[in-house]
A = this chain, B = another copy of it.
Amino acid sequence: MSGSGTAGATIGEASEVEALKRIFPRLPASTATIVGPGDDAAVLAAPDGRYVVTTDMMVHGPDFRLAWSAPYDLGWKAAATNLSDVAAMGAVPTALVVAIAAPASTPVADLERIADGLRDACAALAPGCGVVGGDLSASDTLTIAVTAFGDLEGRAPVLRSGARAGDTVTVSGPLGRAGAGLRLLFERAVDETGEPDRARFVEVLAAHPDAVTAQLRPEPPIQDGPLAAIAGATAMLDLSDGLALDARRVALASGVAIDIDPAALGDDAQSALTGGEDHGLLATFPAGTVLPGGFRAIGTVRDGDGVLVAGRAFDARGGWDPYDGWDGNAG
């Protein structure tokens, strides 16, 4: 950025009010809006007298690196991951509020790209969902906090606790691809000291576009959440921490065992079981249900507890903890 003139101004130069004036027109509108941005709070419609709420924060360092993620990607991923949590309740996403904290040196143009990513993710994944409010703060650490809302359209929410022995275990969306992308980035898109490196990132992206894009700009099957609810899903969960760990959560909450057929997991069952951040949906349906949307069977719910693979206990943890191995803010 040139640093001169409005177009190249940083947040520190432009002031909060000017920055917001440039960002807000780029944001998508929500069809649920009764009172939109610009007052103390927004007012949204909840046609059936309930609403679904989830929140998630993305922090530079543990959650993304600017050497790898463009600002557009950050906006996209912040929307997509929250939309997926709404969909996993069986709800249709209706609106987001977005709080961003950024260094004063951040170009306002970067915030515009974040807004573009939010807009395009909503349009592609959850048409009608829009941004109804936000906040812009100063911080040494770029941080994006999204809260997402959804409408159950009169249906019961699909919890993680409803799986019953005999149900079919299914997933929608790719398994292990985003995790493979993250491994590629940490192994190959770094310099000699292990720090994220933009030039090497470009090479890795060119060689493995599917895996890297699945990590940086995921496309969760949002529409499959409400479809699963309509089809009678007994339990559902967003696949954020890896199939094995997320299946264990359903098993624990439902008081059952989840038995996964490794033959249904593709060529690399281990990666499918343990790779995180796919943001697909794990759902259980009564046996014999005609599976809706992109759902495919991968196993069976049984009496017992924990996760089984081909009938044998699977103890690998699989998921990840944001504080585990975190090395701070570099890259």
Contact = CB atoms under 8 A, between A and B. Distances in A.
Interface stretch (A57-65, A68-76, A183-191, A202-210): A57-65
Contact of A62 (B55, B139, B141): B139
A34 B61 contact: no
Contact of A139 (B55, B143, B159): B143
Interface stretch (A86-94, A285-293, A299-307): A86-94
Interface string A272-310: 000000000000000000000000000000000000000
Interface string A26-58: 000000001100111111111101111111111
A60 B98 CA distance: 19
A167 interface: no
A238 to B, nearest CB: 5
B41 A53 contact: yes
A268 interface: no
A134 B147 CA distance: 10
Nearest to A281: B40
Q: How many copies of this protein are present in the complex?
A: 2
Contact of A99 (B52, B56, B152): B56
Contacts of A138: 59, 61-62, 322-323, 326
Interface in A112-164: 132-141, 143, 145, 147-150, 152, 157, 159-160
Interface string A71-111: 00000000000000110110100010111110010000000
Interface stretch (A10-18, A173-181, A257-265): A10-18
A237 interface: yes
A328 interface: yes
B15 A321 contact: yes
A41 to B, nearest CB: 4
A89 B53 contact: no
Contacts of A98: 55
B324 A57 contact: no
Contacts of A57: 99-101, 135, 137, 143, 145
Contact of A323 (B12, B35, B52, B97): B12
Given A15-B324, A59-B101, A322-B16, A89 B41 contact: yes
Contact of A42 (B17, B53, B60): B53
Given A12-B323, A62-B139, A49 B52 contact: no
Instruction: Please give me the 7 A-B residue pairs with the lowest Cβ-Cβ distance, nearest first.
Output: A46-B46, A41-B54, A145-B145, A147-B147, A40-B88, A57-B99, A141-B141
Given A34-B157, A43-B53, A55-B99, 15 more contacts: A41-B88, A42-B53, A43-B52, A44-B50, A44-B51, A46-B51, A55-B98, A55-B134, A56-B99, A58-B137, A62-B139, A97-B147, A139-B141, A140-B328, A141-B143
29 contacts: A11-B323, A16-B322, A17-B321, A39-B89, A39-B157, A41-B52, A41-B53, A41-B54, A42-B53, A43-B52, A43-B53, A43-B89, A43-B152, A44-B53, A45-B49, A53-B132, A54-B97, A55-B98, A55-B135, A56-B135, A57-B101, A59-B138, A59-B143, A61-B138, A61-B140, A63-B137, A138-B323, A139-B143, A141-B141
